[in-house]
Chains A and B, each alone.
Chain A
Amino acid sequence: MLKANDAMLSARNATFILNGRKILDKVNLDVRKGEIVTVIGPNGAGKSTLIHVMLGLLPLTSGQIIRRESLRIGFVPQSFSSTFTVPMNVKRLLSLTLKPSDREIETTLEETGIAHLKEQSVASLSGGELQRALLAKALLRKPDLLVLDEPVQSVDFIGEVKLYELISNIRKSHGCGILMVSHDLHMVMAESDHVVCLNGHVCCEGGPENVQLDPEFAKLFGPSAIKMIAAYAHHHDHDHEPHESPDHHHKH
């Protein structure tokens, strides 16, 4: 394999065939400690399926998933497709399979920025609030690895930026690895350490800068996508990540 064997969770030649259709074709993927790995690809590329096989929710047709022993995973699934049918408040949602103390719940909700929603009914949350609640639920497991399936799907643009900021902060404060699936290209590129372009098979992969130069990437997303990412990277350089130290940020 290309990478050192210090991965927490790996896919090796992961192949998944459903009704004769090859959804995943010999996919290799590693997630290491403290690393953000983002899987991007068009609809139907098998992104969600890849997440599901990596979590052991779906059996592989061939290949293997290697999971470090006693790895704790926090999973944030795609937003609920329609209304939340079970009546419960946020606090209860966080206690479904764990028994966290009130204090743990409060601290975690504070971290994800929705401490004020503790007693709120889950059905009344907005898309972004629900994602933050689910993120808190995942964090309560004290995960070594966070797995996020399309975390910003039902979130508006502003919420999206903030949610990615939050995810990036979580990586810093918890030191956990993050495996994330997304189809919006521009945001993903900036925060990821490793980007995997999936379309059944892995089309191309690498650091965010390298991947967007890959001809396979252009083939997959089209030339307009490259422009969009380039624009974002440029913007990013100027406004958020000064080349010197952060202290000099406002002296430009």
Chain B
Amino acid sequence: MTALFDPVWQRAILSGLAVALVAGPIGCFIVWRRMAYFGETLAHAGLLGVGIGMMLSVDIMFGALITSVMLVAILLFLRSRKQLALDTLLGMLSHTALALGMISVGAAAMDDGHGHAGEETGDHAAGHSAVEAQGNGHVDVLFGDIMQVTATNVVAIWFAAIFVTAVIIWLWRELVAVSVHEDLARAEGVNARWVEAAFMVIAAVAMTMAMKIMGLLLITALMVIPAAAARRVAWSPESMALWAALFAAIAVMAGLGISNYSGVLAGPAIVLAASTIFVLTSIAPKGS
């Protein structure tokens, strides 16, 4: 309970809940459209953004946002040429981005001259600036570190959450129609290209939001697992999105609680909490 009065945990909880709010619905679209691999690709592009951000001394979240949006643009362009299947394109882009990301982050860490990875204790706490965080960023961005969430980050994350939610609500009918059957939606007049591009951009924003809490390796899990659990109890697209957001929020709170209590990293704890929710919904009697 004392954690609730600690600014580090307050920031973690506030940003974690914002992340859950968008991860739930975005996860639903990822599940509906069978795009889990797209989430991984975004995360890899995010790593590249972190590396570039570190080298150029700009905020790593900003860097990750730029590179993942660029990845979306490249993906949409390659896809429009229809020469390769989507999963082939993703496999290619994903690992190219990962390789570039590893090199850029490694290079940036060496530039900084202090590649100390293991320095993650409580004295990192309040007032921890983004610049200081960049030293051991290459480990923290992979596994997440709530200590690195600044007050500015919390504000930015909430603005992003409101933006993403607004876009989802605005395009909801079209997003659902395209998820059910893209060609059918297009034949019925939905501009699927535009809807898809908008979705990929908000997914990139959501990914960036979740980066510091979850770590790049586990971001997709917070989107996919609560949505998969919600599928079990949902009777409509709307109810699935709301259940997914609720499950993600519960997972975030439980995971942060476990992390605070036992000292394990928050990201993995959150994912395991989500997996537990999935198991519970699986053994519960099925709704519809």
Contact = CB atoms under 8 A, between A and B. Distances in A.
Contacts of A134: 184
Contacts of B231: 85, 87
A96 B83 contact: no
A207 B157 CA distance: 65
Contacts of B180: 84, 86, 88, 93, 96
B129 to A, nearest CB: 43
Given A18-B82, A80-B181, A96-B180, A85 B187 contact: no
Contact of B173 (A52, A75, A88, A96): A96
Given A18-B82, A97-B173, A121-B288, A89 B235 contact: yes
A141 B188 contact: yes
The range of chain B's interface size is 20 to 34
A141 to B, nearest CB: 7
B239 interface: yes
B237 A73 contact: no
A75 B177 CA distance: 14
Contacts of A57: 183, 186-187
B31 interface: yes
Interface in B231-288: 231, 234-237, 239-240, 288
B236 A87 contact: yes
Interface in B160-210: 173, 176-177, 179-181, 183-190
Contact of B32 (A77, A85, A141): A85
Contacts of B124: none
The range of chain A's interface size is 20 to 34
A92 B288 CA distance: 14
B184 to A, nearest CB: 5
A96 B157 CA distance: 32
Contact of A92 (B34, B179, B187, B236): B236
B32 A86 contact: yes
A80 B32 CA distance: 12
Contact of B288 (A80, A84, A87): A87
Please list the 7 inter-chain residue pairs (A to B) with the smallest Cβ-Cβ separation, ordered nearest first: A75-B187, A97-B188, A87-B234, A96-B177, A85-B32, A86-B32, A77-B184
Interface of B: 31-34, 82-83, 173, 176-177, 179-181, 183-190, 231, 234-237, 239-240, 288
Interface of A: 18-19, 52, 55, 57, 73, 75, 77, 80, 84-89, 92-93, 96-98, 121, 134, 141, 147
